[in-house]
Structure 1
Amino acid sequence: MSLRAPAPETGAPPSGPAPLLSVEEVTRHFTVSGDRIDVLHDCTFQVRRGEVVAIVGQSGSGKSTLLNILGLLDKPSGGAYTFDGVDTTALGEGRRSWLRGEGIGFVFQQFHLLERRTALANVAVPLVIAGVPLLTRRARARELLESVGLGHRLHSEPHQLSGGEQQRVALARALSRDPGLVLADEPTGALDAASSTMIMDQLLEQARIRDSAVVVVTHDPKVAARADRVVELVEGRTR
């Protein structure tokens, strides 16, 4: 079933519950060989649970830098990033790591699956790290793989799977700890058109079932068109 949304809106999110994440006048700069390079400039937007937002922009516009901040892999140079009611700006790395593990799932263009490990084992990796008991994590991984249509591939290793199937394993892994936020970095970039459509169907369906917020970074206008709303980055500024 197609989950294509109406033409995506831009600007502020609709009124409703408090946002899951809030980016307020965020800046990010780096120093290279003594020279300051400004990448993000006063970025401001919010995302609520159940909402799918696409971040678009040309190469070099700051998308990857912004995604790293949203995923608590980097800190802004200025402004504030609030995630699930917590101002993350001044948090130490231990607390940031805990929030990241508990509340954020990642899906990348490259699948980053463990070779010589089954789909079931790959999906269970975050649960192993979290200390979930063996039988519980196996049951959870099986449930998630079945939910993305891979119940028949539980014991297949990555080299036995198509690109689309590998990305669905990666999606199931991202959902393993029931995150409030799913960050997808060019999730269809390495896939053909049919697999891309399938992945977006699965990503949107799983997000809506779990009432998660989804932020997709993409160059693909067809992927952006599936989102509820588009945030455009132009020379490091949100529109």
Structure 2
Amino acid sequence: MSVGMPSPLAPEAVPPSAPLLRVEGLTRHFMVSGTRIDVLHDCTFEVHRGEIVAIVGQSGSGKSTLLSLLGLLDRPSGGEYVFDGVNTSRLGEGPRSRLRGEGIGFVFQQFHLLERRTALANVGVPLVLAGQPALRRRSRSRELLEAVGLGHRLHSKPHQLSGGEQQRVALARALSRDPALILADEPTGALDADSSKMIMDQLLEQARIRDSAVVVVTHDPKVAERAHRVVELVEGRTR
């Protein structure tokens, strides 16, 4: 499946607009014991606001590496990554960190919740880092947990929640600063079929409400079918 090819079960197409992110000629290599390992080669694609894009490919094709670059958690070896009009290759660490914190939300296969904290406290972590006052954090976290159907679980800790509920807490946390871009790395990989569908329903609905773009890495064809477009990675190259 080529870059830009629509999924047959995709939602209604997103109208043309300036891209939220543009990747052009992106490459990434690592040096391991003096040997250069090329992971990504000349990746090029765009994602628009409100668009859902699935990245698929075999294990080792570079999907997680690409997601780390899109999330400004890593720097490319070459090429250009423009996010929300900003050429990120020219940014120092401080501005990159601010852009990541304000503009990008993350959802991972493993939920990465703080075990000793309640759902309310977990959702508020990005707001703590942003310096928001306690009352504002609690109000915002409550609002988001209610939005993903967990208004009755505000004071539950992770071990008291099912896998699907934990992932909904993680989704609420990713939405806490109204990011323009949500990056999801196998968000349903640790869940059963019913929970997977619920998470995708919630993710896409919340993205629609906020006009956020979603880039999701997945091995699950049912998840890829929910996207507007599929970008396939083959040996580190987009197709």
Q: Same fold (TM over 0.5)?
A: yes
SS of alignment partner, residue 190 of structure 1: coil
- Please name the residue that 2:174 is paired with: 174
Unmatched tracts of structure 2, length 5 or more: 1-6
SS of alignment partner, residue 105 of structure 1: strand
For residues 190 and 102 of structure 1, the distance between their equivalents in structure 2, rounded to whole angstroms, comes to: 27
TM-score relative to the length of structure 1: 0.95
What pairs up with 1:33-52 in 2 under 5 angstroms? 33-52=33-52
SS of alignment partner, residue 98 of structure 1: helix
SS of alignment partner, residue 90 of structure 2: coil
- Please name the residue that 1:77 is paired with: 77
**Aligned AA (2:222):** K
Deviation at 1:90, TM superposition (A): 2.1
**Aligned AA (2:111):** F
**Aligned AA (1:154):** L
TM-score relative to the length of structure 2: 0.95
**Aligned AA (2:157):** E
Deviation at 1:76, TM superposition (A): 0.8
For residues 143 and 209 of structure 1, the distance between their equivalents in structure 2, rounded to whole angstroms, comes to: 14
Deviation at 1:14, TM superposition (A): 6.5
For residues 140 and 15 of structure 2, the distance between their equivalents in structure 1, rounded to whole angstroms, comes to: 34
- Please name the residue that 2:162 is paired with: 162
For residues 63 and 74 of structure 1, the distance between their equivalents in structure 2, rounded to whole angstroms, comes to: 13
In structure 2, the CA distance between the partners of 1:22 and 1:114, relative to structure 1 (3 Å rule), is same
Q: Is the 8 A contact 1:26 1:43 kept in 2?
A: yes
Deviation at 1:91, TM superposition (A): 1.1
- Please name the residue that 2:4 is paired with: none
Q: Is the 8 A contact 2:14 2:50 kept in 1?
A: no
For residues 119 and 10 of structure 2, the distance between their equivalents in structure 1, rounded to whole angstroms, comes to: 34
What pairs up with 1:123-162 in 2 under 5 angstroms? 123-162=123-162
Percent identical residues: 82
For residues 59 and 164 of structure 2, the distance between their equivalents in structure 1, rounded to whole angstroms, comes to: 25
Establish whether residue 67 from structure 1 lines up as the match of residue 67 from structure 2: yes
**Aligned AA (1:7):** L
SS of alignment partner, residue 178 of structure 2: coil
For residues 90 and 211 of structure 2, the distance between their equivalents in structure 1, rounded to whole angstroms, comes to: 28
Deviation at 1:116, TM superposition (A): 1.5
For residues 121 and 36 of structure 1, the distance between their equivalents in structure 2, rounded to whole angstroms, comes to: 43
What pairs up with 1:77-226 in 2 under 5 angstroms? 77-226=77-226
Q: Is the 8 A contact 1:25 1:78 kept in 2?
A: yes
SS of alignment partner, residue 82 of structure 1: strand
Q: Is the 8 A contact 2:185 2:218 kept in 1?
A: yes
Listed one character per residue, the Cα deviations across residues 133-166 of structure 1 (whole Å, up to 9, x for unaligned) are: 1111110000000000000000100010000000
Deviation at 1:7, TM superposition (A): 2.8
Q: Is the 8 A contact 1:8 1:230 kept in 2?
A: no
Establish whether residue 7 from structure 1 lines up as the match of residue 9 from structure 2: yes
**Aligned AA (1:17):** S
In structure 2, the CA distance between the partners of 1:28 and 1:201, relative to structure 1 (3 Å rule), is same
For residues 22 and 134 of structure 1, the distance between their equivalents in structure 2, rounded to whole angstroms, comes to: 36
For residues 67 and 16 of structure 2, the distance between their equivalents in structure 1, rounded to whole angstroms, comes to: 24
Listed one character per residue, the Cα deviations across residues 60-104 of structure 1 (whole Å, up to 9, x for unaligned) are: 000011000000011111110000000001211111111000000
For residues 72 and 232 of structure 2, the distance between their equivalents in structure 1, rounded to whole angstroms, comes to: 21
For residues 33 and 204 of structure 2, the distance between their equivalents in structure 1, rounded to whole angstroms, comes to: 43
Aligned pairs, how many?
Answer: 232
Deviation at 1:17, TM superposition (A): 1.1
